Amino acid sequence: MEEAEQARAAARDAVADIEPDGLRAVIDDQVASSSMLPGVLTVLSARVVDGSVDDDAVTRRAAGVQLIYEGLRTTRDLVAEEPWAHTDEQDPSDDLDVLA
């Protein structure tokens, strides 16, 4: 599905300059493994409303929608379970997962 590839590439590009590298890698992995449905629906909806829409602008907007959706999903996960309840104190990736 072309729209999914566009949304995923745009979302990954949007987070490419995040520092530190470990945080960026966690976010990038999350985007790479997530459903692109919110981004795809954004692209398809824009095309239905206006067939002459600027593809670059729509793709950037789809990336924003996708990243917002991922942020909301992560927030719901954090509310549902305490992130540090069962953690290995020697593993700092737990902290990065919460930040991402």
Q: What is the pLDDT along the chain (100 residues), one digit of tens a residue?
A: 699 999 999 999 999 999 999 889 989 999 999 999 999 999 999 989 887 889 899 999 999 999 999 999 888 887 887 766 666 666 656 556 666 5
Which residue's entry shows tokens 């020697």?
90
Q: Which of 12, 27, 6, 11 is nearest to 65 (CA)?
A: 11
| C-alpha R_g of the chain | 16
Asked if 98 and 75 count as a contact pair (C-beta separation under 8 A), the reply is: no
CA gap 34, 37 in Å, rounded: 9
CA gap 29, 88 in Å, rounded: 21
pLDDT of residue 18: 93
